[in-house]
């Protein structure tokens, strides 16, 4: 598209009001349909005119910025899953397009869909295929318009985590890592897109389900507040990192308490079939703080690793060899100490938790008065 035509289109499509999510997706789909036309006499100007007419015909204007974004099905097609892309066009899919801004980033939950065998790719766990899945599409971009680092770039760091949370369950102990979850991502026109998938969570529609997006590859216990009495999960407003939190508008007719309880039992069981260990874990879930862990848990011998004071403000790699995974590289946690301690702050805090055959392991970070940093594990 020429610069002049691009500018004319921008002027013509300045919005007078915010469009709804469905309208945005319809406009994007119309643009895709036009761009896919192969007749040689359709040049740039007719394409622009056709799109502008389609916008005006809706009776409301959409933001010009949507021009550079992909529609949901385009995002899914980019990861090579045409079957899932078609599922996002069906009636059961939910277009959301809710945007939240934190720090230097803008995060948009584009939409979600749930069902059995929606994807061309099946997830296998212990020899069995998990075909009933929930898929959510999100986009992440920089507020200043500068491009996100391409996922194929040597400097790319996977510094984001998108995870479902369930009302009534502490997200520190029930997140995407427990739900056979996965993620596919890529960068297009400076915007990073992610297709997040995990076991179908529609059964929890009656309770309430969230989708959180953090600026870390692992769950950070400081990012959200969990109310033990009401089960509500809210953003920690004092958190300095990214902690977006969306409510997923799931179909309440799909709520199934019996199925929900069955899924919870499966997820909480994890790799351990020991009922006593699960109950002991739940006893310590209510207060994931240092005082509680110091009283109820023991330091895992050989787990402590010390870093010099000069490493403050940098991303530290810590090997968490507790999951029984034969590939130790998959157990490396990236921990940014400045997310837990301000420059002049010292003490001991809990960075997260993981599970092994013995129960729950807590990752504890200590910053001494001399600035030295120690990361260790408590069982």
pLDDT at 161: 92
pLDDT at 52: 41
pLDDT at 332: 64
Dist CA 247 CA 211 (whole Å): 6
Question: What mean pLDDT is predicted for residues 214-225?
Answer: 89
**359-377 per-position pLDDT tens digit:** 778 889 999 988 999 999 9
250 against 5, higher pLDDT: 250
pLDDT at 18: 45
pLDDT at 291: 82
Question: What mean pLDDT is predicted for residues 321-331?
Answer: 45
pLDDT score of 272 more than 50: no
pLDDT score of 354 more than 80: no
pLDDT at 3: 47
pLDDT at 11: 52
pLDDT at 2: 43
- State pTM to two decimals: 0.59
pLDDT score of 149 more than 60: yes
pLDDT score of 319 more than 50: yes
**152-204 per-position pLDDT tens digit:** 887 777 789 999 999 999 998 899 989 988 888 999 999 999 999 999 999 99
pLDDT at 204: 97
HEC profile of the chain: CCHHHHHHHHHHCCCCCCCCHHHHHHHHHHHHHHHCCCCCCCCHHHHHHHHHHHHHHCCCCCCHHHHHCCCHHHHHHHCCCHHHHHHCCCCCCEEEEEEEEECCEEEEEEEEEEEECCCCCCEEECCEEECEEEEEEEEEEECCCCCCCCCCCCCCCCCCEEEEEECCCCCCCCCHHHCCCEEEEEEECCEEEEEEEEECCHHHCCCCEEEEEECCCCCCCCCEEECCCCCCEEECCCCCCCEEEEECCCCHHHCCHHHHHHHHHHHHHCCCCCHHHHHHHHHHHCCCCHHHHHHHCCECCCCCEEECHHHCCCEEEEECCCCCCCCHHHHEEEEEHHHCCCCCCCEEEEEEEEEECCEEEEEEEEECCCCCEEEEEEC
**11-52 per-position pLDDT tens digit:** 555 454 444 445 555 544 544 444 333 333 323 333 333 334
Which stretch of 16-20, 142-146, 218-222, 285-289 has the lowest confidence by average pLDDT? 16-20
pLDDT at 356: 64
**235-244 per-position pLDDT tens digit:** 999 998 899 9
pLDDT at 249: 94
> Mean pLDDT in the chain?
78
pLDDT-based confidence at 126, cuts 50/70/90? low
Question: What mean pLDDT is predicted for residues 207-225?
Answer: 92
120 against 161, higher pLDDT: 161
Question: What mean pLDDT is predicted for residues 279-303?
Answer: 69
């Amino acid at each position: 598209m020429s610069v002049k035509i691009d500018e004319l289109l921008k002027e013509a499509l300045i919005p007078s009001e915010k469009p709804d999510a469905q309208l945005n997706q319809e406009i994007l789909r119309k643009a895709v349909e036009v761009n896919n036309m192969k007749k040689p006499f359709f040049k740039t100007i007719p394409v622009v005119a056709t799109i502008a007419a389609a916008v005006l015909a809706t009776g409301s204007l959409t933001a010009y910025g949507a021009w550079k974004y992909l529609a949901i099905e385009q995002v899914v097609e980019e990861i090579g899953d045409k079957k899932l892309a078609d599922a996002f066009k069906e009636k059961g899919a939910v277009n959301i397009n809710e945007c939240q801004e934190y720090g230097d980033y803008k995060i948009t939950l584009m939409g979600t869909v749930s069902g059995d065998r929606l994807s061309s790719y099946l997830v296998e766990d212990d020899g069995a295929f998990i075909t009933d899945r929930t898929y959510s599409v999100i986009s992440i971009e920089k507020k200043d318009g500068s491009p996100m680092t391409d996922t194929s770039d040597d400097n790319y760091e996977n510094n984001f985590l998108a995870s479902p949370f369930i009302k009534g369950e502490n997200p520190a102990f029930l997140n995407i890592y427990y739900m056979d979850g996965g993620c596919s991502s890529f960068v297009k026109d400076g915007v990073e897109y992610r297709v997040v998938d995990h076991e179908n969570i529609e059964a929890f529609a009656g309770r309430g389900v969230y989708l959180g997006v953090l600026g870390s590859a692992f769950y950070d216990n400081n990012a959200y507040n969990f109310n033990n009495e009401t089960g509500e999960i809210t953003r920690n407003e004092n958190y300095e990192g990214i902690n977006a939190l969306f409510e997923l508008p799931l179909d309440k007719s799909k709520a199934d308490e019996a199925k929900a309880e069955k899924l919870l039992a499966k997820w909480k069981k994890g790799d351990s079939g020991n009922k006593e260990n699960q109950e002991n874990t739940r006893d310590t879930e209510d207060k994931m703080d240092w005082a509680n862990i110091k009283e109820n848990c023991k330091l895992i011998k050989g787990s402590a690793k010390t870093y010099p004071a000069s490493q403050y403000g940098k991303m530290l790699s810590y090997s968490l060899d507790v999951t029984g995974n034969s590939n130790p590289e998959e157990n490396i946690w990236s921990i940014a100490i400045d997310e837990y301690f301000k420059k002049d702050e010292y003490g001991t805090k809990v960075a997260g938790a993981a599970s092994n055959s013995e129960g729950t392991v807590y990752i504890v970070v200590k910053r001494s008065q001399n600035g030295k940093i120690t990361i260790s594990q408590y069982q």
